[in-house]
């Protein structure tokens, strides 16, 4: 008797699945979901939570929010972030202060986990909307996030 009940349950679940597919087939024609990617590059907007690559935003006068605390580097599980820094004398106070020389990001090693962004106390690094990262040479996936000659915004401390 279980043989026939198994056949009945199998047909029943098949019809439930086909009804879901049928409803989608009928309603999908009203709204277009598929985007024609290469043709719509100008209007394409990824959703807000998209994790493309890590970037460091700079303002119009080439200032960023990174203090060089290395919390993002420590939080990264596979070492895709390196911060090269040095202590330099601040001319205003005469004390040595940490300044970043290079904030290096290895996109080829990144797993897009987001731990570095969560660990940053000053919100110096964020996710970008860029998703076109295919290259022939892996060295092009290593990026320096801070611009040359950039400095920390006033009022941001470790």
- Mean pLDDT score of the chain, rounded to an integer? 89
d(CA 31, CA 63): 44
β-pairing verdict for 81-89 and 96-106: antiparallel
SS3 of residue 104 by DSSP = strand
Say if pTM beats, i.e. exceeds, 0.75.
no
Whether residue 59 has pLDDT greater than 90: yes
Q: Check if CATH label 3.30.70.2660 holds for domain 54-152.
A: no
**CA angle at 64 for the pair 102 and 92, rounded to the nearest 5°:** 90
Quote the pLDDT of residue 135.
92
Question: Who has greater pLDDT, 144 or 154?
Answer: 144
Query: What burial letters (b/e) apply to 105-136, b meaning 16+ CB within 10 Å?
Result: bbbeebeeeeebbebbebebbebeeeeeeeee
pLDDT in tens, 71-92: 999 999 999 999 999 988 878 7
Distances (CA, A) of 129 to 27, 50, 74, 149: 30, 7, 24, 25
Domain ranges, ordered by start, for the chain: 2-34, 54-152
């Amino acid at each position: 008797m279980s043989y026939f009940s198994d056949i009945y349950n199998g047909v029943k679940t098949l019809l439930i699945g086909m009804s879901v597919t049928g409803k989608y087939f009928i309603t999908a024609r009203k709204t277009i979901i598929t985007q024609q990617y290469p043709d719509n590059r100008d209007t394409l907007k990824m959703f807000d939570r998209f994790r493309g690559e890590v970037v460091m935003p700079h303002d119009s006068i080439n200032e960023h929010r990174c203090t060089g605390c290395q919390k993002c580097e420590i939080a990264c599980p596979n070492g895709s972030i390196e911060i090269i820094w040095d202590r330099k004398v601040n001319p205003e106070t005469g004390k040595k202060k940490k300044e970043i020389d290079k904030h290096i990001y290895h996109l080829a090693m990144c797993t897009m986990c987001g731990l570095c962004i969560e660990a940053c106390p000053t919100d110096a690094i964020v996710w970008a909307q860029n998703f076109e990262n295919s290259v022939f040479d892996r060295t092009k996936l290593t990026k320096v996030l801070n611009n040359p000659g950039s400095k920390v915004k006033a009022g941001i401390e470790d």
